[in-house]
Structure 1
Amino acid sequence: MNTVGELLRQWRRRRRLSQLDLAIAADVSARHVSLVETGRSRPSADMILRLAERLDVPLRGRNQLLLAGGFAPRYTERPLDSDPLSAARDAVGRVLRAHEPYPALVLDRRWNVVMTNRAVDAFFADVAPGLLRPPVNMVRLALDPRGLAPRLVNLADVRAAFRSRVARQLATAPDPELASLYEEMLTHGTEGTTSLADEADTVIPMVFRFGAGDGQGRELRLFSTTTTFGNPMDITLAEVTIESYYPADAESAAHFAEADG
């Protein structure tokens, strides 16, 4: 098991900071940072959290640092459907409902779907039942040939966007399960896919084709925004995100207006 000093050194190197950089940010001496990292000085819980904050260590990692330093974890981790998180869960539910008729869903740190609004149902309608058994993983759902992939016109763009986001997550906070998902779904080639990104796009859209087999096919172009909780003290809330999708052109907006009517 790594010591608290070893873990802090790993986080510091991950953030590409020198001991002096961290010392200045935390308002301590570089010598003290060195002593902590080498185990010659035992930091207090407050000092561990002070250094962790300057290193932008996620709450889960901060608990690990505290445990390695011989202290009790400071941050709780409760399911989103638990009573203590009922107010946060209700707030998320209101956000999801308010976003209708456009799709929105809640994801955990490993891209598992936690909650959705009703507009998502139409997109999941033709997905293989096995992919919809909990936990439903959004990356796997989008890229698996039994999932959304056959309807994604610009699968190459979508795969590249997922690859970039998951890679950034892993660089920020390594996670074995997320790394396994990356290896499984995001290291493959993009043969047979089409890229629709062009200079007119301010963001890379997800382009879905519906009803292509009946001669009445329609393409929907959607872009997404991500919402997180501000200053959470619970690990679950710190790690969930709300992915909200919007029409990227007038034709797509008209489709949702018709569906809502």
Structure 2
Amino acid sequence: MPFTLATWNINSVRLREPLVLKLLEQELPDVLCLQECKSPMEKIPLEGFRALGYQHIIGRGQKGYNGVAILSRLPIEEVGSVDYAGLNHARHIAGRLENGVVIHNFYVPAGGDIPDREQNEKFGQKLDYLTEMRDAFHADRPERSILVGDLNIAPREDDVWNHKQLLKIVSHTPVEVEHLGAAQDAGGWVDITRKDIPEGLLYSWWSYRAKDWSAADKGRRLDHVWATPDIANAGHSSRILRDVRGWEKPSDHAPVFATFDL
């Protein structure tokens, strides 16, 4: 039975609850994974989501920053959360659907502004986080799993508006791309979005700093949908809802969708 999954860095679920409700009403994903919820779980306004049929909600919350949650119309059982790199941050939650598929929802650290771990502790934390993801996937290779989230790295040259200009900008530096690739390879993860849309510029994030983000179109593909090889061929219909970035008081990220026939 097919199900549609979406991932979206919401940049405060309490502030942007109306946008989440609008997306759920318009697109009806079976599963919505949110990042940067910026709220303890007990303070997330769940009533509206439940009224739309999203009765199954799991997550990890933090006051004011980080936070991940999974809203689902399908029964989902929480199967754990890992504090990679020992940061004591709410950046990962995993749940298992009734068909046995495990969904991992990640919010990888952004890494600050300076791409040097000696000058910038946050950049080192980001690399350490990715290294521990890699090691975890090596130690326990995932099966029948989907990994989604704001991974805060645009890995390909056509995942950014200008490859050469962004080579020294956090989110597209070679060392970050290398670390993300190592984590992806360790789990055998297939990039579903690029499997479906293999060519061309593709973005899911546009900075708030641009006065006219759409006209400037200086985007990056920071949000990802991956799947393990045993179910990757079941993934299809990938799309990024660019128009959502233009909604009133938006997140700087747009939702990324994929459908799985499982």
* Pairwise TM-score range, normalised by the shorter structure: under 0.3
**Structure whose alpha-carbon radius of gyration is higher:** 1
Structure with more contact order per residue of length (Cα contacts < 8 Å, sep ≥ 6): 2
- Higher relative strand content: 2
Q: TM-score with structure 2 length normalisation?
A: 0.26
- Higher relative helix content: 1
